[in-house]
Amino acid sequence: MKLSDQGMYQCFASSQVDSVQASAQLLLGDSHPVLLDRFINHTVQPFSAVSLKCVANASPTPQIRWRLDGYPLLPDHRRLIGQYVTTNNDVISHVNISSVQPLDGGWVTCSATNRFGTISHTARLNVYGDPLVREMPERTAVEGDAIYITCSVGGYPIHQVTWTRGGQTLPADRHQTVFPNGTLLISPVQREQNGTSYRCTAYGDRQRTASGEVRLRVIVPPAIRAFMVGNYSEGERVHVLCFVQSGDTPLTLSWLRNGRPLSDPEVEVRATDRYSSSLFIERVAVRHAGNYTCRAENAARASTYTAQLRVNGQCGGKGRQQSWGVWGSSIK
């Protein structure tokens, strides 16, 4: 059985004197989006009408979004974007351009998303004309990750796209790659590149060129310093400090016990400052034992560090010495 099998089914039975019918709807369970239909590469003359279509299906019903060269594709007086859902739960989305211009050309992507994931399709829309680089908004990258930057250029044909940084042609070192389609790869992104502008130049027919710049913003993810640890007996006070030693602000700090948000009124959490959070237990008991996780999150990602609290209590009438066991991890 496959996703396309879901829908309304009818059966009919008849004889010489009578007939009956019945219907039933087949619904399949939650699923990752799939694309049932997608658009192909188009090469057209200016002022033509162009229609691009994507059809997706999933449960829950996916949302389809469109992008041009990696940037959101928005409707305007020439461009209509719409979608509707059929009785079979197919989502049909169109981009209709009434009078296409070289400015509309580029890599067009449709993405279908629900809570289980995203599936995308990309094809090229070429519109004959001189090269033209659209304004490119600031791109945000996470330190240590890779980022692909597309030169948002319209016009056709485009024979070459080059990149420079501070007047220097790229690639300047092993951290940059310029692909034949004009995409720039920076890997890994370094915090020193924050605020750097990259300039692309597109070359068309008759030595016509166009250039544009994109600014790179680099976000540093949080890194948590290892906790101070110690041994505890029942009735002692516990104080644990979670300190974020690096990472861009604003930061959101929170605590979990055994993977769940803290709900014990005897365990107090205090915000020391914008970089740290403290956990207090006035009188520790065996019931407080467990894995305590500090979670720090900013616009880049979340990082965690976990310490296991073991409490020295009475077992079978005898005390048993236990101590903290510590381990930490960052989630990317």
Domain boundaries, given as residue ranges, for the chain: 32-127, 132-219, 223-330
pTM for the full model?
0.75
Among residues 169, 8, 176, the alpha carbon closest in space to that of 86 is found at 8
Residue that has been written with the tokens 């016009």 in this structure: 155
Judged against a pLDDT cut of 90, whether residue 10 lies above it is answered with no
**Facing residues of 142 across strands?**
219
**What residues contact residue 273 under an 8 Å CB cut-off, 6+ apart?**
none
Residue that has been written with the tokens 């019903």 in this structure: 61
CB 162 within 8 A of CB 178: yes
Per-residue pLDDT reduced to its tens digit, 179-236: 998 999 999 999 999 999 999 999 999 999 999 999 999 999 999 999 876 689 999 9
Quick one: pLDDT band at residue 6, thresholds 50, 70, 90? low
Quick one: pLDDT band at residue 19, thresholds 50, 70, 90? low
Burial of 151 (0-12, 13-18, 19+ CB in 10 A): buried
Distance between CA atoms of residues 246 and 278, nearest Å: 17
Judged against a pLDDT cut of 60, whether residue 320 lies above it is answered with no
**Fold match, 32-127 / 223-330:** yes
Class of domain 132-219: mainly beta
Class of domain 32-127: mainly beta
Per-residue pLDDT reduced to its tens digit, 44-75: 999 999 999 999 999 899 999 999 999 999 99
pLDDT of residue 230: 65
- Work out the number of other CB atoms within 10 angstroms of the CB of residue 291: 14
Question: Alpha helix (H) ranges present in 187-227?
Answer: none
Burial of 12 (0-12, 13-18, 19+ CB in 10 A): exposed
Query: Where is average pLDDT lowest: 14-28, 74-88, 133-147?
Result: 14-28
Residue that has been written with the tokens 């409707």 in this structure: 75
Q: State what percent of residues in the chain have pLDDT above 90.
A: 79
Beta strands 90-97 and 50-59, pairing class: antiparallel
CB 51 within 8 A of CB 37: no
pLDDT of residue 18: 66
Return the structure tokens found at 213. Answer: 């710049």
Q: State what percent of residues in the chain have pLDDT above 70.
A: 89
Quick one: pLDDT band at residue 151, thresholds 50, 70, 90? very high
Distance between CA atoms of residues 311 and 287, nearest Å: 8
Distance between CA atoms of residues 147 and 184, nearest Å: 8
Q: Which residues of 81-94 are buried (b: 16+ CB within 10 A; e: fewer)?
A: bebeeeeebbbbbb
CA distances from 48 to 63, 93, 96, 152, 256 (A): 28, 20, 11, 21, 58
**What residues contact residue 261 under an 8 Å CB cut-off, 6+ apart?**
254, 255
The phi-psi region of residue 259 (left if phi > 0; otherwise alpha if psi is between -120 and 50; otherwise beta) is left
CB 73 within 8 A of CB 83: no
Q: Which CATH superfamily is domain 223-330 in?
A: Immunoglobulins (2.60.40.10)
Quick one: pLDDT band at residue 315, thresholds 50, 70, 90? low
Q: What are phi and psi of 193, to 5 degrees?
A: -85, 0
Per-residue pLDDT reduced to its tens digit, 274-307: 999 999 999 999 999 999 999 999 999 999 999 9
Stretch 318-325: mean pLDDT, rounded? Answer: 43
Identity of residue 299? A
pLDDT of residue 4: 62
